[in-house]
Amino acid sequence: MDIKSLIKESAAKVEARLNELLPGEDIAPSTIHKAMRYSIFAGGKRIRPLLCLEAAKACGGSEEAALNAACALEALHTYTLIHDDLPCMDNDDLRRGRPTNHKVFGEGIAVLAGDALLTEAFAMLARVPANDRYDAGDYVAELAYRTGSLHLVGGQVLDLEGEGRELTVDELRAIHHGKTSALIIASVRLGGMAAGCTHEQLEALTEYGRCLGLAFQIIDDILDVTSTPEVLGKSIGKDAKVHKATYPALVGMDNARAEARELTAAARAALDVFSDRRRENLLAINDYLLKRDY
Ligand code: GRG
């Protein structure tokens, strides 16, 4: 299957399951359910669920075993987008091609919609089937570790504290690791764990996620300079406006592109422990994300 069809099919499966797992818009209190659904069903590339499902398949597991974990990752990711867009954070008014959650529902409901999606993510994980190596406790601990104050939330703290200050490349890498790579690492690890992967496979997926995650964020920084809001579905050029450090600003556009290419090669090499057939889709995703234009 070509990569675009793979992405489309995977997104359709994840959206159908999310629709089953999340409370309907007509369930009271309906405002919050409308707000949660507004942001989660606004489109989005669904890269994290895709990585989770494909990591499970690379480890010999089924998509079904990892589907609730894939949904949990998208719910958690959507919470970060809603909260990141709030006036007290990045203060954005466009996300996934639509007005941001707080612009439509108000700040109070947007905070709560993010909170509820975060909470639902753990409920979804608790429903991922156990296998010989891992159970719900392991899945919950994994997502909590990667997205709490040590990683994802911690990355946002470094980001807030770095605003308006000259950052070193290492400081910027630490922000990108927390805000982006940590959830991407969790995506592939949870897919592997849901498939009952070996320790060696889990280590390989962790390194693949780390490299791919950082490359993904460097490309995101590049697109923030070179693309348009119409193509990306979110505001662009914001980082420069608020004097936030980005890869192209710190190391130059050519070096940023070169580093993204090197990380993509390192992510590819990390998958050497898998057979050609098993790693085929993870490799295709890796290449696709380097060349993406949105
Ligand atoms: C806890 C508030 C809070 C934030 C944590 C993850 C994060 C930090 C903030 C979200 C905003 C942001 C720019 C994160 C960097 C990672 C990134 C590039 C997110 C966008 O992901 P895509 O491109 O988005 O996969 P779609 O809309 O396609 O799902």
Ligand 1 pocket, residue 80 CB under 6 Å = yes
| Closest residue CA from atom 17 of ligand 1 | 180
Any ligand 1 atom below 6 A from CB of 151: no
> Could you tell me the distance, in angstroms and rounded to a whole number, from the CA of residue 132 to the centre of ligand 1?
33
From the CA of 74, give the closest atom in ligand 1: 29
**What pLDDT sits at residue 101?**
98
pLDDT at 96: 96
Mutate to test the pocket of ligand 1, among 180, 183, 242 (most ligand atoms within 8 A of CB): 180
The pLDDT of residue 16 is 98
Q: How far is the CA of 77 from the centre of ligand 1 (A)?
A: 7
How confident is the model at residue 26, as a pLDDT?
97
Indicate whether residue 220 lines ligand 1 (CB < 6 A).
yes
Evaluate whether the domain defined by 3-291 bears CATH number 1.10.600.10.
yes
Under 8 Å between Cβ of 154 and 161? no
Entry pTM = 0.96
Number of continuous H segments (helices) and E segments (strands) in the chain: 16, 2
Q: Identify the pLDDT of residue 236.
A: 82
pLDDT at 30: 98
Number of other residues whose CB lies within 10 A of the CB of residue 60: 14
User: Mean pLDDT for each consecutive 10-residue tract of the chain (294 residues)?
Assistant: 94 98 98 98 97 98 98 98 97 96 98 98 98 98 98 97 92 96 98 98 98 97 91 82 84 95 98 97 97 84
Domain layout of the chain by residue ranges: 3-291
Ligand 1 centroid to residue 104 C-alpha, Å: 19
pLDDT given for residue 234 in this prediction: 86
pLDDT on residue 272: 98
